[in-house]
Structure formats: C-alpha cells, structure tokens
Amino acid sequence: MKDSTCASASGHWVAACATACVGTTRLCDPNAQKVQCAVGAQCSTDTTDLEAVGLPGPPYGVCK
C-alpha cells in the first residue's frame, strides 16, 4: 500500500497483519532464520506468487 506520510510521491511498500485479513496468504521474510510458515509450507519469493497478492518482487515473500 502507499503510505501517505512518505515524502516520495510514489510512497513505499509496507505490510500490516490483521485478524481481518481475507484468505490464507501470509507474508514472510525469506531471509529470516526463524520459521514463519506453517508446517509443510515455505517462504516463496516467486514473482507469480507475489503478484497474486499484489506485491512487487523480492525482498518480499509469501507462505506457500
């Protein structure tokens, strides 16, 4: 989402987790040492997976 408080006209990407999120997609940090995804899932940085949830390419990740 764009952050209106950012000085840049284009904003920057931020993420917020909330219980009201719809669906099962969960953001993750592909560089984290701690497991962030459910058992059997991995942190994907595949462009197609990221585009499916409206994110640009890495450094973001989604559990898949």
pLDDT at 60: 83
Provide the residue ranges of all domains of the chain, joining segments of one domain with +: 27-63
Cut 0.75: pTM above it: no
Residues 63, 49: Cα–Cα separation, whole Å: 9
pLDDT at 1: 47
pLDDT at 46: 92
Which secondary-structure segment (H or E) carries 63? strand 61-63
Name the residue with tokens 């595949």.
46
Query: What does the pLDDT look like over 1-59, one tens digit per residue?
Result: 455 666 655 656 565 555 445 556 788 888 888 888 888 889 999 999 888 888 877 78
Q: Which residue has the higher pLDDT, 64 or 24?
A: 64
pLDDT at 35: 83
Residues 49, 40: Cα–Cα separation, whole Å: 17
* Residue closest to 48 by CA, chosen among 33, 38, 58: 58
